């Protein structure tokens, strides 16, 4: 027996505003506040944003955007202005890589008239057109990603990248019923609850912390206004948290701070070199010169070959492949020299992306060949594959060295 989907009853504020969409309507002092929960791919959400703004006439319009994401909405060609070479030179490739994956995945959701974020674009357009105060109330995406990234170790990071990357391989067409389900208060939380428990810290940063941040920014806008109307447009998954955290002041300084590295985070810089020199020294001492030389040759050949193979699989430029091979055996001893980073840096210089590469990221990820055809995505493959190959080489050679050292 199929369950009957219950429609959301109209909600009414003291101003007489009715809405069938998920909303939270309250007062902060003498300021009337309406927070609308939307599904970011819903045509109904776009229409409701327009209806509330034109009918209710708020003084301030808050949107679930940070300043950098607002710029991307106001400037459709912002991606074409991205300097990939500068991204790699400043070692921001993991953050941009995560951004590209999430952005591409969002763009591929649904095939209807409404595209992800259209309700936010409509709110921005109307605020500009009607001369309303527009306020971004979300935390900067770079801060959120850095805080989330710092909460997990290397293994969990690798698994998370794999999950994100594999999400691009499935194109999901959303039905109208599925879109309506996305408007439930805990839809976003249900999505993250499907991740293993090792990612609870990431869920806290991306969901709970942002609920607190959004609530405090909206609350402050209401306090600035003193008297009037504030309208906020947020994803429905944040609505319940915002309702809770609006009741008390939140510490924005704490929520905006970047994580500080602890001393244990530097152990990786010394662990592999110490293990390498330990194995090499004991091998020379106990097994003789030939065995020690063989271990060193294995280190050079296996790590270089696997990093080079990764670059070849990414269809890198021959110079990028050569650099990945040469740098890989050194990467464990010189922290700023990593085969993936050097190969990606070279690739971004030798094969600069074209405007159409940035514009077609979402379309190119719909088929396998697109990953290698699109220069932007391929640069990140050139960064990722050699790094994975070099890491695999480290594990294989280290394991082989230990095995040979302790065998009778």
Structure tokens at 406: 């302790």
Q: Which of 129-143, 184-198, 354-368 has the lowest mean pLDDT?
A: 184-198
**Total tally of structural domains belonging to the chain:** 2
Strand boundaries in 190-291, DSSP class E: 227-235
Do 154 and 60 belong together in one domain?
A: yes
**What are the tens digits of pLDDT across the range 91-111?**
666 656 655 655 555 554 444
Residue 5 lies in a domain: no
Q: What percentage of the chain reaches a pLDDT higher than 70?
A: 70
Do 203 and 272 belong together in one domain?
A: no
Confidence of residue 8 (pLDDT cuts 50, 70, 90): very low
Do 182 and 272 belong together in one domain?
A: no
Do 254 and 283 belong together in one domain?
A: no
**Res. 333: pLDDT tops 60:** yes
Residue 120 lies in a domain: yes
Q: How far is CA 158 from CA 94, 205, 206, 400, in A?
A: 11, 18, 18, 23
Structure tokens at 186: 């805990």
Do 272 and 395 belong together in one domain?
A: yes
**Res. 70: pLDDT tops 90:** no
pLDDT of the residue at 88: 66
**What are the tens digits of pLDDT across the range 228-252?**
999 999 988 889 899 999 989 999 9
Confidence of residue 193 (pLDDT cuts 50, 70, 90): low
Do 287 and 172 belong together in one domain?
A: no
Confidence of residue 301 (pLDDT cuts 50, 70, 90): very high
Given 234, 258, 282, the domain boundary residue is 258
pLDDT of the residue at 131: 94
Residue 67 lies in a domain: yes
Given 243, 258, 273, the domain boundary residue is 258
pLDDT of the residue at 1: 36
**Res. 66: pLDDT tops 90:** no
Tell me the average pLDDT across 176-200.
Answer: 54
Do 223 and 74 belong together in one domain?
A: yes
Structure tokens at 45: 């959400």
Mean pLDDT for the chain overall = 79
Confidence of residue 293 (pLDDT cuts 50, 70, 90): very high
Domain residues for the domain of 282 are 265-406
Do 276 and 194 belong together in one domain?
A: no
Tell me the average pLDDT across 329-341.
Answer: 87
pLDDT of the residue at 68: 78
pLDDT of the residue at 72: 72
Do 322 and 251 belong together in one domain?
A: no
Residue 304 lies in a domain: yes
Asked if 343 and 304 count as a contact pair (C-beta separation under 8 A), the reply is no
Asked if 301 and 372 count as a contact pair (C-beta separation under 8 A), the reply is no
pLDDT of the residue at 136: 94
Tell me the average pLDDT across 294-304.
Answer: 95
**Res. 299: pLDDT tops 90:** yes
Do 189 and 49 belong together in one domain?
A: yes
**What are the tens digits of pLDDT across the range 10-62?**
344 444 566 678 899 999 989 999 999 987 667 888 899 999 999 999 999 99
pLDDT of the residue at 188: 47
Residue 9 lies in a domain: no
Tell me the average pLDDT across 198-218.
Answer: 86
**Res. 3: pLDDT tops 50:** no
Do 121 and 140 belong together in one domain?
A: yes
Given 258, 274, 299, the domain boundary residue is 258
pLDDT of the residue at 13: 44
Q: 3-class secondary structure for 111-165?
A: CCCCCCCHHHHHHHHHHHHHCCEEEECCCCHHHHHHHHHCCCCHHHHHHHHHHHH
Residue 8 lies in a domain: no
**Res. 346: pLDDT tops 50:** yes
Residue 7 lies in a domain: no
Do 145 and 279 belong together in one domain?
A: no
Residue 41 lies in a domain: yes
């Amino acid at each position: 027996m199929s369950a009957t989907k219950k429609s959301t009853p109209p909600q009414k504020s003291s101003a007489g505003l009715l809405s069938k969409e998920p909303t939270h309507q309250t007062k902060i002092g003498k300021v009337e506040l309406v927070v609308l929960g939307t599904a970011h791919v819903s045509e109904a959400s776009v229409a409701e944003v327009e209806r509330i703004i034109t009918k209710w006439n708020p003084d301030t319009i808050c949107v679930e955007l940070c300043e950098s994401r607002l710029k991307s909405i106001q400037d459709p060609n912002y991606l074409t202005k991205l300097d990939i070479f500068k991204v790699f030179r400043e070692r921001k490739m993991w953050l941009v890589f995560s951004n590209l994956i999430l952005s591409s995945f969002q763009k591929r959701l649904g095939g209807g008239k409404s595209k992800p974020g259209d309700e936010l674009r409509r709110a921005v357009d109307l605020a500009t057109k009607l001369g309303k105060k527009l306020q971004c109330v979300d935390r900067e995406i770079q801060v959120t990603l850095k805080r989330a990234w710092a909460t997990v170790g290397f293994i969990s990071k690798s698994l998370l990248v794999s999950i994100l990357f594999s999400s691009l391989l499935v194109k999901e067409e959303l039905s109208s019923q599925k879109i309506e389900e996305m408007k439930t208060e805990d839809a976003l939380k249900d999505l993250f609850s499907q991740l293993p428990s090792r990612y609870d810290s990431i869920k806290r940063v991306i969901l709970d912390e942002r609920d607190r941040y959004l609530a405090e920014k909206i609350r402050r806008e209401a306090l600035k206004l003193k008297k009037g109307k504030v309208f906020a447009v947020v994803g429905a998954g944040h609505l319940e948290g915002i309702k809770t955290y609006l009741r008390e002041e939140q510490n924005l300084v704490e929520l905006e701070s970047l994580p500080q590295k602890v001393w244990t985070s530097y152990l990786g810089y010394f662990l592999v070199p110490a293990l390498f020199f330990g194995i090499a020294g004991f091998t020379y001492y106990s097994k003789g010169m030939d065995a020690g030389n063989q271990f060193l040759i294995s280190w050079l050949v296996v790590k270089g070959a696997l990093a080079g193979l990764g670059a070849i699989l990414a269809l890198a430029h021959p110079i990028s492949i050569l650099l990945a091979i040469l740098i890989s055996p050194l990467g464990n001893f010189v922290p700023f020299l990593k085969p993936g980073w050097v190969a990606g840096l070279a690739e971004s210089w030798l094969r600069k992306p074209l405007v159409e590469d940035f514009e077609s990221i979402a379309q190119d990820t719909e088929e396998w060949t697109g990953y290698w055809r699109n220069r932007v995505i391929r640069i990140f493959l050139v960064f990722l594959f050699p790094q994975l190959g070099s890491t695999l080489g480290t594990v294989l050679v280290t394991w082989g060295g230990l095995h040979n050292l302790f065998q009778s």
